[in-house]
Structure 1
Amino acid sequence: MKLGRLAPAVLALALSFSLAACGGDDEDDKAKSDKETSQAPSTAATPSGDASGMTVWGAELGFGEPARFTWKPRRKIDGVAEVTVTGVRQVTMAEFAGFKLDAAMRKSTPYYVSVKVTNIGDSDLARVELPLFLDNGSDVLHPPANITGKFKPCGNRVLPDEFQPNASADLCLVFLAGEGTSLRAVALQTSDSPQSITWTGEIEQPAKKDKKKGKGAKKKGAEESTGD
């Protein structure tokens, strides 16, 4: 696939009632490499792995397919995890009605990305953030919105307070695609990986309101009221 520059969370959200969002983590600052393209391996039913059982960097996966990788989320922690992007749902900015948004944010397209994670290494990965990013086809990869506090629709972007070997967790990350762009893929890329591992698939679209149905129901109610 590609190696993308990791952008700071310039589209992070700030709430007007103590829920705040700020920039990317330390790993974002470390990755300064320019984007490059390369020949990706053909997608198979089972992700391609190397001799150690890890997924090959550059693999292109579909939603529901797992990837195994190693990285150093912190200086003294060696992480080994199996990550699966289970689905992506596009939503509307109405979901963030309580947020304080600038003009650029209001014109962006938000996505909820569901992820399943299993710790297959020997370290406790408590409160670790996965190196997952939004690929919108540009030369940078965008981190998830850093929303602190409780955001019920999609708010658990970090691993639990305790995440010992063999533990599993379901996460949900909020991504914002800037005006005129959309989510092309979900990318996994560490600060020293040669390429990114990506997931693509069918994105669930926002439900459309049936305005005609609503008007019909209102008219019927009025007729019943008149009949009484």
Structure 2
Amino acid sequence: MIRRSLGRAAVALTLAAAVLTGCADDGDPDPAAESSGPTDTGSATPYLPVPDGVELTPQGTHLKVGDTAVVAYEPRQDLVGVLELTVTKLEETTTRKTMSAWQLTPQQEASTPYFVHVAAKNVGETDLSRRPVPLYAVNEDDLLLEATPFASSFEPCPSTPLPKGFTPGAEADVCLVYLAPDHGSLEAVSFRPEETFDPIYWTGDVEKYVPPKPANSKKKNKR
């Protein structure tokens, strides 16, 4: 497990994010605090080198669902990625409702799944194809939770990395699954690439997940 933290004094723990396999067919700020709009408490000085004309969102910025942040991170040593990220929707569901056909550990069965929808754009100069989206969920204990991947297609929320061909200028809509331990709550979505970074995070209303209605079958032509 990877241990990270939201605030300087918080101790963070991720839920075991083992790849799920199908068994059927197939410190400091309170992220729950209300805000009327984007605010920032950090410096505007870039924390990583970015292309000319790119302005990074300051560390410590508090955003609402629907707001956009421009962030930089190092997916590997000597490689800087720059993303424009917009958290567009937060959804809550249950393992029984959406994951009954998947093999879950007892710990995963005792969790509450959350779907986080994100619009991403590559505004840097590096190819970020197949790289994980660098976002964490934050629960009621200020623990950072990693997204849970799936071994095969999970229609309600694929929870996949950035797509192939995610080169400079590319855009994608992604949905990430986070499993909050012990039926916990989702308090925020956080960008925190390393321990000393003052996190940027999004808060907002969490909606109940509603499965899409099946498409109506075409009516047979009358003779």
Say whether 1:50 aligns with 2:70. no
Q: Distance in 1 between matches of 2:57 and 2:170?
A: 20
1:88 corresponding residue in structure 2:
90
Q: 5 Å matches for 1:117-132? A: 117-132=120-135
- Partner amino acid for 2:160? R
Q: Given the superposition, is the C-alpha separation of residues 47 and 158 from structure 1 closer, same or farther in structure 2, using an over 3 Å criterion?
A: farther
Does the 8 Å CA contact 2:73/2:193 hold for their aligned counterparts?
yes
Between 146-155 and 51-60, report the one with greater CA deviation.
51-60
* Inter-partner Cα distance in structure 2 for 1:128 and 1:44: 33
Unaligned runs of 5+ in 2: 1-5, 47-54, 211-223
The equivalent of 1:69 in structure 2 is 71
What is the Cα deviation at residue 75 of structure 1?
Answer: 2.1
**Aligned-partner Cα distance in 2 for 1:107–1:126:** 33
Letter in 1 for 2:162: L
Deviation at 1:102, TM superposition (A): 2.8
Alignment of 1:200-211 (within 5 A): 200-206=203-209
Compute the displacement of 1:149 (Å).
Answer: 1.9
Q: Give how far 1:81 is off.
A: 0.8
Q: Quote the Cα distance in structure 1 between the aligned partners of 2:126 and 2:11.
A: 28
Q: In proportion to residue count, which structure has more helix? A: 1
Matched, 1:100 2:100: no
How has the CA–CA distance of structure 1 residues 45 and 140 changed in structure 2, closer, same or farther, with 3 Å as cutoff? closer
User: Who wins on radius of gyration, i.e. which is larger?
Assistant: 1
- 1:148 Cα offset (Å): 2.5
* Deviations 1:40-81 (CA, angstroms, capped at 9, x unpaired): 9x9564565825521111111000100111111122421111
Q: What residue number does 1:37 align with?
A: 28
Kindly indicate whether the alpha-carbon contact (under 8 Å) linking 1:47 and 1:66 is maintained by their aligned counterparts in 2: no
Residue number in structure 2 paired with 1:159: 162
Displacement of 1:6 after TM fit? 5.4
Q: TM-score, normalised by structure 2?
A: 0.75
- Check 1:15–1:176 CA distance in 2 against 1; reply closer, same or farther (3 A cut): same
Report the number of matched residues.
Answer: 191
What TM-score do you get using the length of structure 1 for normalisation? 0.73
Structure 1 residues 138 and 45, CA, compared in 2 at 3 Å: closer, same or farther? Answer: closer
Percent identity between matched residues is 29
Letter in 1 for 2:157: C
Q: SS at the partner of 1:179?
A: helix
Residues in 2 aligned to 1:47 and 1:168: alpha-carbon distance in whole angstroms? 25
